[in-house]
Amino acid sequence: MKTIEDIRRDFPILGLQVNGKPLVYLDSAASSQKPMQVLNAYCGFCESRYANVHRGVHTLAENATADYEDARRLVAEFVKADPRGLVFTRGTTEAINLVAQSYGRKFIKHGQAILLTPMEHHANLVPWQLLAQYTGAELRFWPMTEDGRLDLDGGKKLLDSRVAMVAVTHMSNVLGTINPVREIAEMAHAVGAKVLIDGAQAAPHLPVDIGGIGADFYAFSGHKMCGPTGIGVLWGRPEILEDMDPFMTGGEMIREVWLDHATWAEVPHKFEAGTPPITEAVSLGAAVRYLQQITPEWIAAHDHALTELAWEKLTREPGVTGYGPTDNRGAIVTFNVDGIHPHDLAGLLDREGVAIRAGHHCAQPLMRWLGVQATARASFYLYNTPEEIDRLVDGIRIAKKVLHVV
Amino acid sequence: MKTIEDIRRDFPILGLQVNGKPLVYLDSAASSQKPMQVLNAYCGFCESRYANVHRGVHTLAENATADYEDARRLVAEFVKADPRGLVFTRGTTEAINLVAQSYGRKFIKHGQAILLTPMEHHANLVPWQLLAQYTGAELRFWPMTEDGRLDLDGGKKLLDSRVAMVAVTHMSNVLGTINPVREIAEMAHAVGAKVLIDGAQAAPHLPVDIGGIGADFYAFSGHKMCGPTGIGVLWGRPEILEDMDPFMTGGEMIREVWLDHATWAEVPHKFEAGTPPITEAVSLGAAVRYLQQITPEWIAAHDHALTELAWEKLTREPGVTGYGPTDNRGAIVTFNVDGIHPHDLAGLLDREGVAIRAGHHCAQPLMRWLGVQATARASFYLYNTPEEIDRLVDGIRIAKKVLHVV
Amino acid sequence: MEFGSRKRYCTLFDLYSEILLDHYRLPRNKGRLDHPTVTVEGTNPLCGDELTLDLEFEGDRLSRVTFDGKGCAISMASASMLTEILQGKTIAEVEKWIADFRAFIRDGHAPEGVEMGDLTALIGVSKLPVRVKCATLPWMTIEEGVRKYRGS
Amino acid sequence: MEFGSRKRYCTLFDLYSEILLDHYRLPRNKGRLDHPTVTVEGTNPLCGDELTLDLEFEGDRLSRVTFDGKGCAISMASASMLTEILQGKTIAEVEKWIADFRAFIRDGHAPEGVEMGDLTALIGVSKLPVRVKCATLPWMTIEEGVRKYRGS
Ligand SMILES: Cc1ncc(COP(=O)(O)O)c(C=O)c1O
Ligand SMILES: Cc1ncc(COP(=O)(O)O)c(C=O)c1O
């Protein structure tokens, strides 16, 4: 079993000095850092197995194709899903757009409803707004409790037979709320609705079991789970994917092409038009292997302990307001400090080498719900330590002094 | 100035032994290999500057954003285009789908026509087929001369005021034909049509001047020009991009988001929904810097010399038929050997360490035009040598012997 | 980053074995039957392989089978081997062979207790997704032929 | 691949200089005017910065300017500096200052022959795309105010 020191050594960037101080990276919810194992996989593949996939009959093309398809299987195993339903996309955003367009435009009609929550990331909100405008379907929003959880009873009232799609995040990227997606899927299926789960924050941090959840669609991004940018995943039930029209068209996704029409390849290839993110898939496979080795369970426990500690230390600081549930939260603490604009807080923490995020976190409607313009957000991952939380708290104290808030 | 030996040393994979023979990689038209400079840029960025872009105010986020936007400028300079019109996509395929959907669905109407050519890659054909089905617009096909060039007079007859879009490849990925895109753009603009050029094969091999061509849209892929997979470029005239609706929606591409509607960011960001391929953009920047250093002019001359040599040697071989124009061709030689299925040819060449492509090359309509089911294709790039062409010719002779064709 | 100058090797199973080439150069049962019970055609649009099988049944026995067509060495050799093996077999045996061949290609080894004979030469395609379709084309085509015969 | 244990450094220009902090802590001309000629509001939706400028013109001279609002230290300090510099300037001078400030932020240095005074403290944002909007908000807002006054 690796120790936290071993893990930190796997991430070359963590040795960086920022503004004269050792880097404390507390922005993994925006994007995680990459371990050597992933960079080595990237370069190793390019050095000895690289070619375009799926059409070539030479050795490199065969090897590259095998590695690409192995990555599909590895990633599917990681989230306990049927690899036939696993489509590589650029990220969560493309995955959700794909469903909203290819499923939504074909199957969601005027008079039906799409049920969302007010805590969705723009990626799981705006595509549905456009679909609603296109089809005339209605948007509904699941009510929330004061501490930022979904009000299950309130949601039940909105779930009638007109609801065609329930799209909800597995873990909020602002409040850290972990939603009961399995119950939600059950409730949705009971009225005949399909369920899409935005797993962008959950896949990196929780053991995910797509089969167990019963999701019809599940989306996540490679770059937040130690993998590269440029790749993400849409998982969909193969039988649903088969009924959907393609999202993009071109090479690789066709069966036969004539001048005026074409027929499609089987799923998942039907949804992978053009040269796919080959090296990114192989490297995401390496990331998943890395996380699997450390185990999602260890990561969840580690994240949980850090988050509890951070919540406790931060909310004990005078002038600090924390947002979201007080327990069972994901590896995110979102807060504000009285009298300090979150951008300034992040700027002044950066002088101390501490990287946090400040802003609306791509969740403007949730900011309005919280009654704030912006917040600060510290987020944790497998490489963070309790000492780094002390550095955060110290940094906040310094910021207060600099801005004469105390 | 680098020698060819220096260049070959930059590409670690070229040292590989395949099936006991030194690798001869003649499949760059499908995807090029990657130089160390690009792999170093990839890893270097991940080791010391990586974070998500455009929202963070900490040092890493600022550095990553600066590098990402620098890459946009570098790539725009490489093709002599205004960086404000340069959108990073996953590749050529996404770029063309973006135009067909975001431009096409809004501006191309029933009764209008889309003018294509029979030599298009599926990526520049199928998206227009779907658009024609969606809008009721008509598809027209530019006639070709016997040797696989566009018949300019024949095309002129099809170019009337009903033509809304002319979409044509800069260089054919099968015939190697280099189309007179500047004249085509002029002809198209004269009747008020917009022009999209598929530069997937041209951008790696020719000095490209998008401004000089006068294209309205120009698309290409990183992975064919020494860059990584997972990234490509759509360049569009900024004023046209501004009038278009977004293609995908989510984070980064919005200005303000409410529960039921949203407004968009400025171009090019309006078309980059979600976390973009950050490391891929930075690495594409490095690829472009590498190509720029060797100079597109040197590469074009090198490719041209190899292609002439290959054409001559191959078509002198008994039983070999070459396809496409006999001169002024891009770095591609497509051919068949009597009595040998191209898959077998590729398979038997692979035994000799020679990697070529065999199949329909994502251009099934062109295969029908040529009257063949499939062809073999050898393609060249800056790292190939005349000796490698001899290895190809030797391999073909061996294949003939093995299959008792001679 | 260090890129070693160490030699790196990369080798695939050799598809073009002597057995395979022998079937390709000297195909068994190639041609058409005058009075087939059933004729079935198979194509592999991606490669352009085209195959016609003529099947002559006597009761529940496949008394004769011939193939014609054009395609790559893998599909043609696979067709040749198929005719040699299945000639004279009962329908039940034919169906077992089809299932065994499927499993052989999918798993990369012969099913428990099955002797694959010349077909062993095709083992390499199980690692080559692009060529699997070539090797299996004759087997999927005869499967349809049997279905047709049973249905008639 | 080798990842050195060598220390690597990474430093940005310090945005929170003493001059900037001084304007933030002790803002000049903060508050509202009783009878402004023109009032203009500016917002930066991404950060939530909100700014109101009250402008009092006498002929072609900006006799008084005050600001009110909330926002980050960069936008508030920039507004404070703006009021101090533009108070009493002619409209032509105000417009030149707006153009000079734009160029200063865009180019990362003062335009030829221009002395930027306290504004020099804002130079750091020119390398920080995310913060540029904060620094320029007051300047874009007053630009609109001048336009309004000219139009009226
Ligand atoms: C001419 C041409 N157009 C389009 C494409 C598609 O590019 P990509 O697969 O990178 O999207 C290719 C390459 O496969 C091509 O050669
Ligand atoms: C909950 C959630 N959904 C969706 C996204 C969008 O992911 P990406 O930008 O990788 O497409 C994010 C991350 O930014 C997120 O946190």
The total number of residues written for chain A in this structure: 406
**Could you give the maximum distance between any two Cα atoms of chain D, in Å?**
70
Q: Chain B: residue nearest D131 by CA? A: B57
SS3 C89: coil
Q: Output the pLDDT for position A288.
A: 98
Show the ligand 2 pocket: residues with CB < 6 angstroms.
A 91-93, 121, 123-124, 169, 173, 198, 200-201, 221, 232, 362; B 251, 274-275
CB contact under 8 A, B347 and C15: yes
Please give, rounded to a whole number of angstroms, the shortest distance from the CA of A97 to a CA of chain D: 23
* Residue to substitute in A28, A31, A88, A92 for testing ligand 2 pocket (most ligand atoms within 8 angstroms of CB): A92
Reference B226, options B13, B4, B2; nearest CA is B13
CA-closest residue to ligand 1 atom 7: B92
Check if B262 contacts A (Cβ < 8 Å). Answer: yes
Cβ distance A90 to B127 less than 8 Å, yes or no, reads no
Ligand nearest to the Cα of A232, by number: 2
CB B355 within 8 A of CB B26: yes
At residue C147, the 3 state secondary structure works out as helix
Asked if B38 and D112 touch (Cβ cutoff 8 Å), the reply is no
In terms of Cα–Cα distance, which of B198, B191, B195 is closest to B214? B195
pLDDT grade for D7, boundaries at 50, 70 and 90 = low
CATH code at A4-30+296-402: 3.90.1150.10
Structure confidence by residue, pLDDT tens digits, A300-312: 999 999 999 999 9
Q: Which of A397-401, B62-66, B221-225 has the lowest mean pLDDT?
A: B62-66
Q: Is A24 helix (H, G, I), strand (E, B) or coil?
A: strand
Six-digit token pair at C99? 């299932």
Q: How confident is the model at residue C4 (pLDDT cuts 50, 70, 90)?
A: very low
Beta carbons of B34 and A46 less than 8 angstroms apart: yes
pLDDT value at residue C44: 85
Residue C26 sits at the chain D interface (C-beta within 8 Å): no
| Residue from B43, B46, B226, B362 carrying the catalytic annotation | B362
Q: How is residue B192 written in tokens?
A: 């008020």
* DSSP secondary structure letters along A117-153: -TT--GGGTHHHHHHHHHH-PEEEE--B-TTS-B-HH
Q: Answer yes or no: do B47 and D12 touch at CB < 8 A.
A: no
Q: Which residues of D touch A355 (CB under 8 A)?
A: none
- pTM of this structure: 0.95
Q: Which of B133-147, B177-191, C121-135 has the lowest mean pLDDT?
A: C121-135
Which residue, among B300, B312, B369, B311, has the nearest Cα to B149 in the 3D structure? B369
Instruction: For chain C, list the contacting chains (3+ Cβ pairs, <8 Å).
Output: A, B, D
Residue spans per domain, chain A: 4-30+296-402, 39-293
Residue C128's pLDDT band (cuts 50, 70, 90): confident
List the alpha helices (DSSP H) in chain D. 18-25, 73-86, 91-107, 129-151
Question: Once rounded to an integer, what is the mean pLDDT over residues B235-250?
Answer: 98
Quick: pLDDT tens for B346-388.
Answer: 999 999 999 999 999 999 999 999 999 899 999 999 999 999 9
Three-state SS for B62?
helix
Quick one: average pLDDT of D14-41? Answer: 95
Task: Kindly give the distance from the C-alpha atom of residue A373 to the centroid of ligand 2, in angstroms, as a whole number.
Answer: 20
* pLDDT-above-70 percentage for chain B: 100
Q: Is the pLDDT of residue A264 over 90?
A: yes
Q: Is the pLDDT of residue D2 over 80?
A: no
Residue C111 and residue C93: Cα distance in Å, rounded?
15
* B24-to-A345, A372, B16, B34, B279 alpha-carbon distances in Å: 56, 61, 9, 15, 29
CB contact under 8 A, D127 and B62: yes
Task: State the average pLDDT for chain B.
Answer: 97
Three-state DSSP class for C46?
coil
pLDDT > 90: what percent of chain C?
Answer: 76
pLDDT at A147 over 90: yes
Which residues are CB-neighbours of B227 under 8 A, at least 6 positions away?
B34, B38, B280, B283, B284, B286, B287, B288
Q: Where are the beta strands (DSSP E) in chain C?
A: 8-10, 38-44, 49-58, 61-70
Phi, psi angles (nearest 5°) of residue B232: -155, -175
Q: Which ligand is the nearest neighbour of the Cα of A204?
A: 2
- B330: Cβ–Cβ under 8 A, 6 or more apart, which residues? B171, B172, B176, B177, B178, B201, B202, B205, B206, B303, B307
Distance from Cα B94 to the centre of ligand 1, integer Å = 10
pLDDT tens digits for range B74-84: 999 999 999 99
Residues whose beta carbon lies within 6 Å of some atom of ligand 1: A 251, 274-275; B 91-93, 121, 123-124, 169, 173, 198, 200-201, 221, 232, 362
Locate all alpha helices (DSSP H) within A235-295, ordered by sequence. Answer: 238-243, 278-294
The CATH number of the domain covering residues in C6-151:
3.90.1010.10
Is the Cβ–Cβ distance between B343 and C131 less than 8 Å?
A: yes
Q: In this model, does residue C1 exceed pLDDT 90?
A: no
Q: Whose CA is nearest to atom 14 of ligand 2?
A: A30
Contact predicate B93/B200, CB 8 Å: no
The residue-averaged pLDDT of B200-215 equals 98
Q: Which residue of A has its CA nearest to D22?
A: A403
Q: Give this complex's ipTM.
A: 0.93
Q: What angle do CA D119, B68, A273 make, to 5 degrees?
A: 150
Average pLDDT over residues A82-100: 98
The three-class DSSP label of residue C115 is: coil
Q: A74-78, C123-127, D85-89, D135-139: which range is least confident on average? A: C123-127
In angstroms, the CA A257 to CA A129 distance is 34
Higher pLDDT, residue B170 or D108: B170
Q: What is the mean pLDDT of chain C?
A: 90
Topology annotation, domain A39-293: Aspartate Aminotransferase; domain 2 (3.40.640)
Concerning whether B46 is annotated as a catalytic residue, the answer is no
pLDDT at C34: 96
Q: How far is Cα B142 from Cα A53, in angstroms, rounded to an integer?
A: 31
For ligand 2, mutation pick of A172, A173, A217, A220 (most atoms within 8 Å of CB): A173
Q: What does the pLDDT average to over A239-243?
A: 98
Whether B287 has a pLDDT exceeding 70, the answer reads yes
Are C130 and A56 within 8 A, CB to CB? yes
* Per-residue model confidence as pLDDT tens digits over B313-339: 999 999 999 999 998 899 999 999 999
CA A10 – CA A137 distance, rounded (Å):
48
Contact (CB, 8 A) for B251 and B275: yes
Ligand nearest to the CA of A359: 2
Residue B397, φ and ψ in degrees, nearest 5: -65, -40
Residue B53 one-letter amino acid: V
Cβ-based neighbours of C7, under 8 Å, separated by 6 or more: B15, B17
Question: What is the average per-residue pLDDT within B43-56?
Answer: 93
What number of other Cβ atoms are within 10 A of residue B292's Cβ?
12
Compare CB distances from A48 to C1, C10, C128 and report the shortest one's residue: C10
Query: Ligand 1 centre and the CA of B200: distance in Å?
Result: 5
The alpha carbon of A121 and the centre of ligand 2 are apart by a number of angstroms equal to 7
Q: Is residue B21 pLDDT above 90, yes or no? A: yes
Cα separation, B127 vs B105, in Å, equals 11
State the Cα–Cα distance between residues A26 and B400, nearest whole angstrom.
63
DSSP code of A42? Answer: H
Mean pLDDT of chain A: 97
Confidence (pLDDT) at A141: 98
Question: Does an H or E element contain A389, and which?
Answer: helix A386-402
Interchain pair C12, A255: CB under 8 A = no
pLDDT at B55: 77
Total CB pairs under 8 A between chain A and C = 31
Name every chain C residue with its beta carbon within 8 A of the beta carbon of D4. Answer: none
User: Of A33, A59, A226, A229, which to mutate for an interface test with B (greatest number of B Cβ within 10 Å)?
Assistant: A229
Cβ pair B176, B311 in contact under 8 A: no
Q: Does any CB of chain A come closer than 8 Å to the CB of residue D16?
A: yes
> Which two tokens mark C66?
């011939």
- Give residue C137's identity as a one-letter amino acid code: L
Mind listing the pLDDT tens digit for each residue in B148-195? Answer: 999 999 999 999 999 999 999 999 999 999 999 999 999 999 999 999
Provide the shortest C-alpha distance from residue D134 to chain A (in Å): 10
* Residue A18: both structure tokens together: 């920022």
Distance between CA atoms of residues B26 and B313, nearest Å: 15
Task: State the pairing for strand pair B194-198/B217-221.
Answer: parallel
Task: Tell me how far the alpha carbon of residue A330 lies from the centroid of ligand 1, in angstroms.
Answer: 41
- Listed in sequence order, the residues at least 6 apart from B387 whose beta carbon sits closer than 8 Å to its beta carbon are none
Candidates B42, B58, B114, partner chain A, best to mutate (most A CBs within 10 A): B58
Can you say whether the dihedral through the CA atoms of B224, B225, B231, B232 is positive or negative?
Answer: negative
Answer yes or no: do A66 and C127 touch at CB < 8 A.
yes
Least distant ligand from the CA of B220: 1
* pLDDT band at residue B116 using 50, 70 and 90 as cut-offs: very high
Angstrom distance (rounded) from CA A256 to CA A280: 28
**Average of pLDDT values for B93-103?**
98
CA dist A59 to A107, A151, B333, Å?
42, 56, 20
Can the peptide bond before residue A268 be classed as cis, meaning omega within 30 degrees of 0? yes
Region C97-104: mean pLDDT is 96
Q: Which residue type occupies B318?
A: P
Q: What share of chain B is helix, strand, coil (3-state, %, to 5)?
A: 45, 20, 35
B263 touches A: beta carbon within 8 Å:
no
Q: Which of A18, A250, A362 sits opposite B123 (nearest CB)?
A: A250
CA B300 – ligand 1 centroid, Å: 19
Residue type at A215 in one-letter notation: A
Report the nearest-CA residue for atom 15 of ligand 1: B200
Tokens of B347: 């398979």
Contact across the interface for C47 and B403, Cβ inside 8 Å: no
**Residue A23: its chain B contacts at CB < 8 A?**
60
Predicted local distance difference test score (pLDDT) of residue B132: 98
Answer yes or no: do C129 and A59 touch at CB < 8 A: no
Chain B nearest-CA residue for D11: B59
Which of A205-214, A310-319, A371-380, D129-138 has the lowest average pLDDT? D129-138
Whether the per-residue pLDDT at C5 is higher than 50: the answer is no
Residue A309 CA: distances (Å) to CA of A304, A313, B162: 9, 6, 67
Q: Where are the domains of chain C?
A: 6-151
> Which H or E element spans position B169?
strand B163-169
Instruction: Give the count of beta carbons closer than 10 Å to the beta carbon of residue B385.
Output: 16
What are chain D's partners, defined as 3 or more CB pairs within 8 angstroms?
A: A, B, C
A88, A93, A116, A122, best to mutate for ligand 2 pocket (most atoms within 8 Å of CB): A93
**Are D33 and D64 spatial neighbours (Cβ–Cβ below 8 Å)?**
yes
Inform me whether the pLDDT recorded for D8 exceeds 80.
no
Bridge-based pairing state of the strands A113-116 and A138-141: parallel
D115 touches chain C (CB under 8 A): no
